Amino acid sequence: MGHKKRRKRITCPNCGTNLSHEMNFCHQCGQENHVKRATIKMLTVDFFSSYFTVDSKLFRSLKFLLTKPSFLSFEYLNGKIEAYIRPMRLYVFISFAYFLLLGITSSSSPSKAFDVANSGQEISTEQLQEELKKEKETELTFSDGSEVESEFEKEISDKFKKIFSDEREQALFFNYLRSKLPILLFIIIPVFACLLFITFYDKECYYIDHLVFAMHLQAYLFVMLIIAEILNVIFNIDLNVIAFLIFLIYGFIAAKRFYKRKFLGTFFRLSLAGIMHCIVSGIIMIIFFLIVVKYYTV
């Protein structure tokens, strides 16, 4: 079996130590002396190795994530991978912390899960029952006049009736739904990376580059939401909208630096990616919601 041909550096990209051509690994930090582009396999291996190691890397990574937009993405893609938490691990760690915090604060306020799920819109039981009644009256009809309702539609309709007929059942359902949201977000991030690949297309910029950037961007959003949630618990002030506005500004600055585009070019490309992301994500969320309802036990 042949050995891989190494493309070596004269200095370690991770710690800056001078290396000789014979060295396969840095004698200072242990990073492999081999120039290679990041791959999806590399991201996955990075994630599963040392699954949740929390040390000084975490605080260093958070510091640069919050203060220097796109810096961590550049560092990782340029080969400096040992100094910071790897992108996938950082994203999973922060998202886990956010949903754990949300679960704790929601359990302290039984109605909160229902309020969050409805995005602040008050929906009465009577209104829901009326809507369900209207949907019941709308049925598929063949040309011969026979009315049909698929098993899936019937199952979803029946579960909707049971869920929204009782406030306690609503809260239980939205708690269950929230527990599945990490799966949804893990699906949406690669989709967002695809849209960035399209809108910021550059033959020298690979899909994996956009994926790393998207992970860091989403990780920043979760940090903002964690801060907003903590302040909400302490001062009883809803700062989610402000946190999201800060995220939009941060995202623009990060994209401008990462893709090295001019102001208007970044604005229009990022806006286009955002609009497409809303449409595609909306479709994915509807499908995901229906699947969750189908497998939810009332």
CB 189 within 8 A of CB 281: no
Q: What is the mean pLDDT of the chain?
A: 81
Higher pLDDT, 101 or 132: 101
The secondary structure element, H or E, covering residue 141 is strand 140-141
Confidence of residue 128 (pLDDT cuts 50, 70, 90): low
Beta strand pairing call for 140-141 and 147-148: antiparallel
Calpha distance 13→83 (Å, rounded):
10
Query: Would you say residue 258 has pLDDT above 60?
Result: yes
Nearest to 215 by CA among 235, 189, 254: 189
Confidence of residue 83 (pLDDT cuts 50, 70, 90): confident
Angle between helices 87-108 and 56-67 (to 10 degrees): 90
CA torsion, ordered 94, 98, 104, 108, to nearest 10 deg: 160
Query: Mean of the pLDDT values across residues 211-236?
Result: 95
Query: Would you say residue 267 has pLDDT above 70?
Result: yes
Query: Would you say residue 273 has pLDDT above 50?
Result: yes
Which of the residue ranges 45-59, 118-132, 253-267 has the most confident prediction, judged by mean pLDDT?
Answer: 253-267
Calpha distance 156→167 (Å, rounded):
18
Higher pLDDT, 184 or 253: 253
pLDDT at residue number 280: 95
Of 85-99, 150-164, 240-254, minimum mean pLDDT range: 150-164
Which of the residue ranges 43-47, 170-174, 235-239 has the most confident prediction, judged by mean pLDDT?
Answer: 235-239
Half-sphere exposure of residue 213: CA atoms within 13 angstroms, side-chain side: 29
Query: Mean of the pLDDT values across residues 117-137?
Result: 50
Residue 18, helix vs strand vs coil: strand
Output b/e per residue, 230-267; b: 16+ Cβ within 10 A: eebeeeeeebeeebeebbeebbbebbbbbbebeeeebe
Calpha distance 77→242 (Å, rounded):
31
